[in-house]
Amino acid sequence: MAEVVLTRTADEASALAAAHVAREIAARPRLVLGVATGSTPEGFYRHLARCLAAEGTDTSGVRAFALDEYVGLPADHPESYAAVIDRTVTMPLGLDPAHVHVPDGRAADPFAAAVAYDRAIDAAGGVDIQILGIGRNGHIGFNEPGSSLGSRTRVKTLAASTRDANARFFTDPRDVPVHCITQGIGTIREARHLILLAFGADKSTALAGAVEGPVSASLPGSAIQLHPHVTVLADEDAAQKLTQAEAYREAWALKPAAQSF
């Protein structure tokens, strides 16, 4: 079972996760961090930047790999995940841009770019800690329902519901790309530690399915149940459909070293 940490607010969860990742970076200066986009991890990145700065941690050796990228957005588009990662991760954490990788959604051959991305992750020694959000339809990365639980990084078509959900980031909803490159579920499962963040009532069904539902390609987030080291952090609203919430709270409260995941 995944470790499930339930907090009152998203901010508390973000702060807990950030404190843990900051300690790991301090202990392993060349840590490989898997980073997600979307609204969910924004608070986590802010807390992480503060923790690292407060401790004066050198982040110049940290490597980062993004989960996914839209295909075909212009290079300077502010909503390309390359731009989002630059704004929310690379700059605030003080990472070396040369160490930060995002799938190349502008490659002439995005299919080859996807294969090259998996190779680059392998060449870096694999992802140590992967930060994940979850889509309302249960997607992780951009692995929409139906994605193989063993899939590798590849080009995918976005579900209409995901395009609708992400339209809020674009001036014109028609600008939301139809295709993306996403790490596969098999790729994500190779990360050594998964930290999944879920906040807000609109994630409650997806979160309950991911943590407690059957493992199924119909709910890609449920693949976390196949992983040996997963930490799920959720606020009250996202946790409202978990049937074992009391058990998770008790396990967390009685954990010998409650600071550590």
Residue 213: which region, alpha, beta or left (left: phi > 0; alpha: psi -120 to 50)?
Answer: beta
The single residue among 4, 36, 113, 129 that binds ligand GLP, judged by CB under 6 A, is: 36
Contact between 166 and ligand GLP by CB under 6 A: the answer reads: yes
Please, are residues 223 and 215 in contact by the beta-carbon 8 Å criterion?
yes
Least spacing, CB of residue 36 vs ligand GLP, in Å: 4
Q: Which of 20, 69, 118, 137 is catalytic?
A: 137
Could you tell me how many residues of this chain bind ligand GLP (CB under 6 A)? 14
How far apart are alpha carbons 192 and 231 in whole angstroms? 11
Least spacing, CB of residue 134 vs ligand GLP, in Å: 6
Please, are residues 117 and 22 in contact by the beta-carbon 8 Å criterion?
no
Read off the tokens for 3: 């470790």
Closest CA to 260 of 221, 229, 222: 229
φ, ψ of residue 198 in degrees (nearest 5): -140, 125
Is 143 a residue of the active site?
no
Site string for ligand GLP, 84-113 (x = CB under 6 A): ------------------------------
Decide whether 40 or 204 has the Cβ nearer to ligand GLP.
40
Contact between 57 and ligand GLP by CB under 6 A: the answer reads: no
Residues in the chain: 261
How far apart are alpha carbons 106 and 110 in whole angstroms? 7
Q: Which residue has the tokens 């600008």?
A: 175
Q: CB under 6 A: which stretch of 35-43, 119-127, 228-236, 251-259 binds ligand GLP?
A: 35-43
Least spacing, CB of residue 37 vs ligand GLP, in Å: 5
Q: CB under 6 A: which stretch of 11-19, 30-38, 107-115, 117-125 binds ligand GLP?
A: 30-38
How far apart are alpha carbons 113 and 117 in whole angstroms? 6
Q: Which residues bind ligand GLP (CB under 6 A)?
A: 36-40, 67-68, 133-135, 141-142, 162, 166
Catalytic site positions: 68, 137, 139, 144
